[in-house]
Structure 1
Amino acid sequence: MLQQKAYAKLNLSLDILGRRSDGYHDLRMVMQSVSLHDTVTLIPREAGVTLLCDDPGIPSGKGNIAYRAAEAFLHAAGGRSSGVEIHIEKRIPSQAGMAGGSSDAAAVLRGLNQLYKAPLTVAELCHIGSKIGADVPYCVVGGSQLAEGTGERLSPLPDMPGCSIVVCKPAIGVGTAEAFRRADQRPSPPRGYTGGVIDALKRSDLPALGRALGNDFEDILPIAAVSHLKELLRKAGALGAAMTGSGSAVFALFATGTQAAAARELLPKDLFACVCRPVPAYCFPELEINTP
């Protein structure tokens, strides 16, 4: 048996650069792992894949991206492994833009590679992940990363400065397809948040990082509930706040855990909310990280 922590993802920046000929969109974004996590337990079995989750709303078969990750790994391993039983303890909220499913899938890939001692490199794990979901390659590696293309091209960045982060999720969702459609119709180019975020990370400047946070989805398809939560968090002393991914979770940076805990208490009690911290990239001591 082997356990993996599947850390949630935040977008410190998200720039939609334009639509590609294949119908997808080129993105440029800075992703960051945080300590909020699911727990993925892998148990070797003689054959096949089974998946159990403590959240009854999460699918247990091929509709689950972690299930598909296990199948893809077992196929790629070329008979060096047999089967696996997967248990997922969910803590990352669904449909929040925090890559909960992708992080579970990445944990399965990392865990199976360790469990069955298969000689797959980080690049090979990321390549498998890219066939399953756009965020999976990032979630394999984690930490502070510049992600480009659809998210599959990764470049490591300096670790995020130490801080406390409040994450909360309003009940409303975001129309991703509509947001992309509006992005294609913008009369002017995107503002470009990513450069400022990278600069702040390189200087390890937390206040500057807070000021640099930004997400094109917010600009293109503003949501009143998201704006309201950001305003509450800023009034509570946040150095900056933004929506993550295509939403609808909102996060805010605080210099201290005391400030973050106090801010969390000001949020509506019926919303998911937590205090977490940035975490570094997963450790692959024997492998060189070189994503395709």
Structure 2
Amino acid sequence: MTLWKATISYDGTPFHGWQVQPGRHTVQGTLAAALQRISGEIVLPQGSGRTDAGVHALGQVASFELTAPIPAPNLHHALNRALPPSIRLLSLEAAPPRFHARHSAVRKTYEYRIVPRISAAETICSPMLAPYVWACPYRLDVGAMSEAAAHVLGTHDFTSFAAVDPDESCRTARESEPQEGEQGRLNRKGSCLPTPNIRTVLASEWTLHADEPLLRYRVTGSGFLHHMVRNLVGTFVEIGVGRLRASEMPSILAARDRRTAGPTAPARGLFLVEVDY
């Protein structure tokens, strides 16, 4: 049996997220079906994390085991032929023993892309770009957003930026990738016990390039809560518009209350860029 590590890029637009779901078109389910067609084996590839519906990946990582003795180049080629054009394996290699795409990860990098309103005139977002950005109707103060982004560096309790759905909070406690000692626990009946939403952010930066109409937020961390990046971005945009101040970020973090932060940014602007091991 060979343990494989695949680096995958996908357009999340046509999918209901990564995780396989009955009756739903998902990335994990599509990859599993391709593996079964090629090898005849029923396997469920494990991803480094569960991207939501509409979220994209430039460097998602998946691991899976196959008993079929297929050489790596042949399997790589066969999978890309079996998969739809919206999913591509960038690389495929035999993984070291006990490697797991989620449990072995030490850092992840996400990027969020916005087409902001630059002038008084309405910003026109190309339909070729629209599925991959938030076409924001507001003029944004990038300086204030950068100041706010610096406040989340380091180790904090990010409850104010976590999903508020109890089911999602329970799922996050079981299946997110926190550092040792941070993961939530389940009681013997399988229900969630309180979990600290502590994460470490290693990089947090906004950039606006003169040669392209894109405002990019890039964040690297030891792990992320469900909706955490999109909730951060929604809060930064509130600061960029002027409805919140950058100096309020420490108090929003300290409140540990989702109601104190901004709205959730649309899924379509979010990309999983890279996973480090």
TM surpasses 0.5 = no
Larger gyration radius, structure 1 or structure 2: 2
Normalising by structure 1, we get a TM-score of 0.33
Normalising by structure 2, we get a TM-score of 0.34
